[in-house]
């Protein structure tokens, strides 16, 4: 065997050399134990910045160099292809040559490898294709049409999302129970389940799978063909898994089946304190119950942090200690004590952006690279003010994990509506939103309009007006186009008398664009709604829509892809796994962080995940962490008074320094206890519960029309303490916290 000969050569290379000299010398005691403990189940709790990647790669090299297994007998699972590639390169450097035969990759790539070998046992050919999202949506639309289901009640993207969630939970159609379905007449009901069944049948006919199938069908293969499962159990003498805290149910099932063999040499590396993806299916219980799942498991804690200062670690450790669902560890470091975590209170979001911009400039003048600085926000809508400020200052920046604010789909759509209002001849803008949201205007109609406009050298809207007076257009398309142009004319006439912000809201509401995202149940829909509200607020900062559009054009022109040294701007979720010398943690106030939606939907577990997110943010910082909060926040688009986040309250006082703008809480600098009245002991109640809820409650009366970010618009039917009974227009009667709704 080539692989065996290859590794044999590497063994010969190290004849007469101790293993310590080769790959163990640079490890601390805990890391070394994690590398050398290769028998039986092992959970390595690797705190932030403790060298988990080094442990993983060195462990694989240790197994190979000591001849405990051939490369083909080692299975190593990562969460990204990039991580897999980096791990492979590190292992190659440690053993002195490339590793052939090693099973190293993501869950999905490894499952593809298995399914190619055994697809026929599941009714597929080995040449099966893997569908992308567009193909999946097209197939769902066909099935909805065949079942005569209204795609407004059953939006294809939502149906596909529901099917994906069932697959992530390891559920084939026949395994979905009533408790896992939604209300009749809504996505997730019996009709959705029927679509799921039909969808799977069509995939088989097409000899195709989607990404959810790759894991689900591999688990099915293992469950229905025990001899196949046994062959892989016998093959993989050692199994290693990275980021175990982020695994979902079907990934857990896959891993559990493989690890149940005779070997049981399973090593999972993860950090329960950095489990922040519950909203996309990750189950923190997988790591918390590791000892139950694998009796006799050894827990090894990596607590020596090589990234952050003691001050930063002290603040982060006291914060995360407020979580009850954790295995527990205490990070320590040998680094110099460093600066205290700075907490800065300012008046509003604009001042927050100005303060952080000035701090970045100051650090840069002291010869700190821009690329060593990052601004981390809880919600993407917060980026807008920072982007505007950085562009004004001429500070280059990059948005990590997503597009810039004005490049987002929903913002480009909203801009297109405004552009058509201001400039009726803007054919590109008109074409972008002519059927967004869907109005029944098909491609054939659009082609007719384009052809007439091109032949007559006129704008698309003018061509539409002319053709509406002919029989070239007919049916639903004609009706929808006539109504749309009337709307544009009416909105245009309102420009002289309706303030820009209010008019923007009217346009987005009356066009159906806001409702489109309210009805969308995809995970990113709430964030898009927040961005739209922030967009309207941004328009409101200008005297006219025309001036706003000019401002956006200048911003986009000035922000074109600077390369090289740039500040990083991203959400807290996107920051996981990264590190920076200086980290600015913006918007730490109640009503924003913790995210109200997380609290509403998941209660205490949602609060704990938000706290883990705060912990992740803090531990990205190597030298300095600066937390900011505002006392007046537009959330988004509406001004409201805010209080510092409960997470600031939970930071150990000896590790933080408070500096407020003059007049905030009556002082500019002082002890935290003097700045904000704190209560001990701290449980699940907070300043938010005690102060904001009370102040908001007084704003409501029976019959008030209110808005909730998840449930939409409704009317107050009962008031009970800090809770409201609200009859929502689309979702019926709900009990919600008063602080989570705004009066309309």
Active-site choice (50, 52, 136, 649): 52
Q: How far apart are CA 70 and CA 72, in angstroms?
A: 5
Q: How far apart are CA 544 and CA 541, in angstroms?
A: 9
Cα angle, residue 641 at apex, residues 638 and 642 outer, rounded to 5°: 110
Q: How far apart are CA 178 and CA 188, in angstroms?
A: 10
Q: How far apart are CA 672 and CA 345, in angstroms?
A: 11
Nearest to 741 by CA among 601, 597, 630: 597
Question: Cα–Cα distances in Å, from 465 out to 271, 448, 493, 618?
Answer: 61, 13, 18, 57
Q: How many CB atoms lie within 10 A of CB 236?
A: 22
CB within 8 A of 81, min separation 6: which ones? 105, 106, 109
Could you tell me if 446 and 432 are in contact, meaning their C-beta atoms sit under 8 angstroms apart? no
Catalytic annotation on 89?
Answer: no
Catalytic annotation on 274?
Answer: yes
Catalytic annotation on 52?
Answer: yes
Task: For the chain, give the longest Cα–Cα distance.
Answer: 92
DSSP 8-state assignment for residue 688: I
Q: What is the DSSP string of 38-97?
A: -SS-EEEEE-TTS-HHHHHHHHHHHHHHTTSS-GGGEEEEESSHHHHHHHHHHHHHHHTS
Active-site choice (597, 620, 623, 633): 620
Q: Which helix (H) or strand (E) holds 102?
A: none
Active-site choice (243, 410, 426, 530): 243
Catalytic annotation on 731?
Answer: no
Sequence-separated contacts (24+) of 179-187 with Cβ below 8 Å: 185/153, 186/153, 187/153, 187/154, 187/155, 187/158, 187/159, 187/162, 187/521
Q: How far apart are CA 58 and CA 32, in angstroms?
A: 9
Q: What is the DSSP string of 275-331?
A: ---GGGT--THHHHTHHHHSTTPEEEEE-B-SSS-HHHHHHHHHHHTT-SSS-----
Q: How far apart are CA 148 and CA 405, in angstroms?
A: 38
- Helix and strand element counts for the chain (H, E): 31, 21
Measured in degrees and rounded to the nearest 5, phi and psi for residue 623 equal -110, -45
Cα angle, residue 258 at apex, residues 254 and 262 outer, rounded to 5°: 160
CB within 8 A of 602, min separation 6: which ones? 278, 609
Catalytic annotation on 18?
Answer: no
Catalytic annotation on 227?
Answer: no
Q: How many CB atoms lie within 10 A of CB 433?
A: 20
Length of the chain: 744
Active-site choice (242, 273, 351, 359): 242
Q: Is 266 helix (H, G, I), strand (E, B) or coil?
A: strand
- Read off the tokens for 605: 């577990």
Nearest to 309 by CA among 330, 333, 341, 342: 333
- Virtual torsion, Cα 729, 735, 739, 741, nearest 10 deg: 0
Active-site choice (78, 274, 382, 571): 274
Question: Cα–Cα distances in Å, from 627 out to 264, 522, 586, 617, 677?
Answer: 45, 31, 6, 10, 19
- Read off the tokens for 276: 């922040």
Is 264 buried (19+), middle (13-18) or exposed (0-12) by CB count in 10 A? middle
Buried b (16+ CB within 10 A) or exposed e, 162-178: bbbbbbbbbbbbeebee
Q: What is the DSSP string of 527-578?
A: HHHHHHHHHHHHHTTSSSHHHHHHHHHHHHHHTS---SS-EEEEETTTTTT-
Active-site choice (32, 36, 37, 53): 53
- Read off the tokens for 491: 């909105």
Residues annotated as catalytic (active site), given as ranges = 52-53, 242-243, 274, 620
């Amino acid at each position: 065997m080539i692989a065996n000969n290859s590794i044999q050569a590497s063994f010969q290379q190290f004849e007469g050399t101790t293993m310590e000299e080769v790959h163990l010398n640079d490890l601390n005691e805990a890391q070394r134990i994690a590398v050398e403990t290769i028998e039986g189940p092992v959970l390595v709790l690797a705190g932030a910045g403790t060298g988990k990647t080094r442990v993983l790669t060195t462990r694989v090299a240790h197994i190979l160099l000591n001849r405990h297994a051939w490369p083909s007998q080692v299975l190593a699972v990562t969460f990204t292809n990039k991580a897999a590639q980096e791990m492979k390169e590190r292992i190659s450097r440690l053993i002195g040559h490339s590793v052939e035969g090693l099973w190293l990759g993501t869950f999905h790539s490894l499952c593809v490898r298995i399914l190619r070998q055994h697809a026929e046992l599941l009714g597929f050919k080995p040449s099966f294709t893997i569908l992308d999202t567009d193909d999946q949506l097209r197939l769902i639309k066909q099935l909805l049409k065949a079942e005569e289901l209204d795609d407004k009640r059953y939006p294809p993207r939502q149906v596909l999302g529901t099917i994906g969630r069932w697959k992530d939970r390891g559920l084939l159609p026949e395994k979905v129970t009533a408790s896992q379905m939604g209300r009749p007449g809504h996505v997730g009901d019996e009709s959705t389940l029927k679509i799921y069944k039909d969808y799977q049948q069509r995939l088989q006919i097409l000899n195709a799978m989607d990404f959810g199938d790759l894991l689900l069908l591999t688990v099915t293969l293992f469950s229905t063909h025990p001899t196949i499962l046994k062959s892989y159990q016998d093959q993989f003498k050692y199994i290693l898994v990275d980021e175990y805290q982020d695994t979902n149910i079907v990934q857990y099932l896959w891993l559990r089946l493989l690890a149940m063999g005779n070997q049981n040499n399973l090593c999972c590396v993860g950090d329960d304190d950095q489990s922040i993806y519950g909203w996309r299916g990750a189950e923190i219980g997988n790591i918390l119950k590791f000892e139950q799942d694998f009796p006799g498991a050894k827990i090894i804690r990596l607590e020596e942090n090589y990234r952050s200062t003691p001050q930063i670690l002290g603040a982060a450790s006291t914060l995360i200690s407020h979580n009850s669902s954790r295995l527990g560890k205490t990070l320590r470091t040998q680094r110099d004590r460093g600066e205290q975590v700075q907490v800065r209170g300012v008046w509003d979001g604009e001042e927050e952006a100005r303060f952080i911009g000035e701090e970045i400039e100051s650090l840069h003048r002291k010869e700190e690279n821009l690329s060593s600085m990052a601004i981390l926000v809880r919600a993407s809508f917060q980026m807008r003010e920072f982007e505007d400020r950085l562009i004004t200052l001429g500070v280059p920046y990059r948005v990590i994990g997503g597009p810039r604010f004005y490049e987002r789909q929903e913002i480009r759509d909203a801009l297109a509506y405004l552009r058509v209002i201001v400039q009726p001849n803007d054919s590109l803008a008109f074409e972008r939103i002519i059927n967004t949201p869907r109005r029944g205007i098909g491609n054939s109609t659009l082609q007719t309009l384009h052809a007439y406009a091109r032949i007559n050298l006129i704008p698309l809207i003018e061509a539409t007006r002319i053709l509406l007076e002919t029989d070239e257009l007919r049916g639903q398309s004609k009706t929808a186009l006539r109504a749309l142009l009337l709307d544009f004319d009416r909105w245009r006439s309102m420009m002289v008398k309706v303030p820009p912000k209010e008019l923007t809201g009217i346009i987005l509401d009356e066009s159906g664009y806001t409702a489109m995202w309210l009805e969308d149940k995809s995970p990113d829909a709430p964030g898009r709604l927040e961005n739209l509200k922030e967009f309207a607020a941004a328009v409101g900062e200008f005297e006219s829509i025309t001036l706003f559009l000019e401002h956006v054009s200048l911003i986009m022109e000035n922000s074109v892809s600077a390369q090289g040294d740039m500040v990083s701007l991203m959400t807290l979720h996107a920051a996981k796994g990264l590190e920076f010398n200086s980290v600015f943690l913006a918007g730490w106030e109640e009503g924003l962080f913790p995210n109200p939606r997380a609290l509403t939907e998941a209660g205490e577990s949602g609060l704990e995940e938000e706290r883990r997110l705060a912990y992740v943010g803090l531990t990205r910082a190597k030298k300095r962490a600066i937390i900011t909060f505002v006392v007046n926040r537009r959330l988004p688009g509406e001004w409201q008074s805010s209080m510092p986040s409960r997470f600031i309250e939970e930071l150990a006082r000896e590790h933080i320094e408070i500096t407020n703008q003059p007049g905030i809480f009556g002082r500019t600098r002082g002890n935290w206890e003097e700045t904000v009245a704190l209560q001990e002991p701290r449980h699940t109640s907070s300043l938010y519960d005690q102060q904001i809820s009370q102040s908001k409650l007084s704003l409501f009366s029976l019959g008030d029309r209110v808005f909730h970010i998840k449930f939409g618009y409704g009317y107050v039917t009962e008031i009970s303490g800090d809770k409201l009974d609200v009859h929502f227009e689309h979702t019926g009667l709900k009990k919600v916290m008063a602080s989570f709704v705004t009066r309309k």
